[in-house]
Chain A
Amino acid sequence: MRALVIDDSRAMRRIVSGILEGFGYETQQAGHGREGLDVLDGGWIPELVCVDWNMPVMDGLQFVSAVRANPAWRSVTIMMVTSESEHGQIVRALAAGAHEYVIKPFTADAIRDKLALLGLLPEGAAL
């Protein structure tokens, strides 16, 4: 399975990618929403996108809206991984088309639980 990790923090990209690779994912990284769209435009279509909210150039909410506006990317599951913890922001993200929402700080267990809920925990990944 493939996952695209979009975060302007290099550290956070490495952490989230490392967790997903530990579950058996093949990952790519992007530093903001526009870079993430470039990856999809290039034909690398992942099952999962983990995207931060606050980023330069194109933020996570704009990215979610752009992905949802393209029928070719309908199969992509989007999980927001962000320090935005206001209830209103969570509602906005889900209304825009995100499937799940993880608030930073998170643990690998929290990511694993969300993937299990989404049916995106690869076979063989420890429960």
Chain B
Amino acid sequence: MTTFEDTGERRRRTDRMPVITELLDEATLGGIVEEAWLALVGDEEFLVPSLGGPVSDAVSSWVEVVGPWTGSVVLTCARPTAEELARCLLKEHAPPVLDAEDVEDALGELANVVGGNVKGILPGPSVLGLPQVGAAPGAGAPDDTCRLHLLWRGRALTISAQGSPGGVPSAT
């Protein structure tokens, strides 16, 4: 008779999924965002911590991460800020007139770069989704959210790594 020893390596249904605050702190997330900002937005573009608050006419871009931790990395700012970000991202490659697709594409790419680097520091293999733009996805429990409130050129933006409600990714 063959017996199987339980090595404890398999995930049990009762295993608790880690929350993001056990895997990522604000300083690490801030470092990832700062590196992305300097490389993509401009090497003299700085982010300043702020107290946060509501953003009017907000637009969000995000990528989903599915793995040992499941959630989204979300960038939220006002639409005029998103337009300014897109122009900075494209620099001299920007067309004379930016259309909505240019702006959403640039905002999505920023979330993609930050999300990809967040994924890179999570334990174990994870899958990164394609960037999405629109109203921010729902967040999970407060302790499953690592959020930065920042100012760029005096304009508010928020970047968060937030668990999905129920620990599963939203429908895409």
- Which A residues have a C-beta under 8 Å from some C-beta of B? 8-12, 14-15, 17-18, 54-56, 82-86, 88, 103-107
Contact = CB atoms under 8 A, between A and B. Distances in A.
B102 A83 contact: no
Nearest to A19: B93
B36 A105 contact: yes
17 contacts: A8-B130, A10-B102, A11-B102, A15-B91, A15-B93, A18-B91, A18-B93, A54-B128, A83-B115, A83-B117, A84-B116, A86-B120, A86-B126, A103-B117, A105-B36, A105-B40, A107-B39
B61 to A, nearest CB: 11
Contacts of B120: 84-86
Interface in B97-138: 101-102, 105-106, 108-109, 112-113, 115-117, 119-120, 125-126, 128-131
Given A54-B130, A56-B130, A85-B117, A105 B39 contact: yes
A86 B127 CA distance: 10
Contacts, number: 71
A113 B109 CA distance: 23
Given A54-B128, A56-B130, A12 B109 contact: yes
Please name the 4 residue pairs, one residue from A and one from B, whose CB atoms are nearest each other, closest first. Answer: A83-B116, A85-B120, A105-B39, A14-B93
Nearest to B109: A9
A70 B171 CA distance: 37
Contacts of A8: 130
B161 interface: no
Contacts of B92: 18
A104 B101 contact: no
Interface of B: 35-36, 38-40, 86, 89-94, 101-102, 105-106, 108-109, 112-113, 115-117, 119-120, 125-126, 128-131
A104 B39 CA distance: 9
A10 B109 CA distance: 9
Contact of B116 (A9, A18, A82): A82
A54 B172 CA distance: 15
Interface centre among A9, A88, A107 (most CB of B within 10 A): A9
B101 A10 contact: yes
Contacts of B105: 9-11
A83 B113 contact: yes
Contacts of A82: 116
B15 to A, nearest CB: 22
Contacts of A88: 125
Contacts of B40: 104-105
A85 B116 contact: yes
